[in-house]
Structure formats: C-alpha cells, structure tokens
Amino acid sequence: MSLVELIVAFTIMALLTAMAVPLARFRVRREKERELRYALRELHTAIDKYKDACDKNIFQGKLGSDCYPETLDQLVEGVKIASDASGKKLKFLRRIPKDPFTGSTEWGMRSTQDDPKSNGWGGQNVFAVYTKTMEKSPDGTLYSEW
C-alpha cells in the first residue's frame, strides 16, 4: 500500500509543479513589462524636461539638435545653466535606467530626423528611446514599439 501512496503523492506533486511553472513565468514577464514601462516613462520625461528647459533658454542647446539632448549621458551629466556664473549644472536623470529585457543601460534611440519605425539612429539628437529586445508582448506587438 505504501508504494501506491508514494506514486500517487509523487503524481500530485508533479501536476502541481507543472501548473505552477507557467504561472511563475507569466509573473516574471509581467514584472519585466512593468519595469520597462517605468524606465521608458522615466527616460521620456527626462527628454521632455530637457527640451522644455532648452526652449525656455535656461541653457544653450547645440545648434541643429532642435533642443533635444545629443546623448542619454547628457541627461545624467547635466548642462551648464546659461545665467549662472558659478557653472552650476542642471541634471535630468540620476542614472540611465536598465532595460529589464536586455539587462543593460543601452537603449535604442531615435532622433527627430529618423523614421519613427526605424531601428537606426541618425545621431543628431535623442528624441525617443526604445528597448533593443526583439521579443514580443502577449498581444503580439514588439516591445521595441512601446
């Protein structure tokens, strides 16, 4: 009788494990999606604040950049305020957030002159960012289109 009980218990444990693994993967994926949304929102907000400050002539933007940052590092390093003689810098990000899908701080970038769907960066300025992963979300869209 104990061998039959052992087999039944093992079968029940195997079924429960088989049901739990997809749920765990689903939760991990949802958490990565939430982190991606947060990181993209943080980066786009910093780019928008940079643009607003440049448009208000708080600092001088590079000619031909349309008042957008040249790189993401410029948002972290900051820019010198034009009316401040002490050389004070205005910073927009503490650090570049990590992409939860690639695990790095390298993001795909688009400038104002680039095609909105392109995966190449012209290098003129940073108008938008996207993840470099080629994975698809559950609804079938690429995460890089978010």
CA 120 from centroid of its chain's CA atoms: 17
Are 91 and 114 contacting, i.e. CB atoms less than 8 angstroms apart?
no
Domain boundaries, the chain: 35-145
SS3 15: helix
The DSSP secondary-structure symbol of 130 reads: E
- List the beta strands (DSSP E) in 4-118: 79-80, 89-90, 108-110
For the chain, 146 residues long, the average pLDDT of each consecutive 10-residue run is 88 89 88 95 95 89 83 92 83 94 92 80 87 90 87
pLDDT at 37: 95
Taking the whole predicted model, whether its pTM rises above 0.95 is answered as: no
Strands 89-90 and 79-80: antiparallel
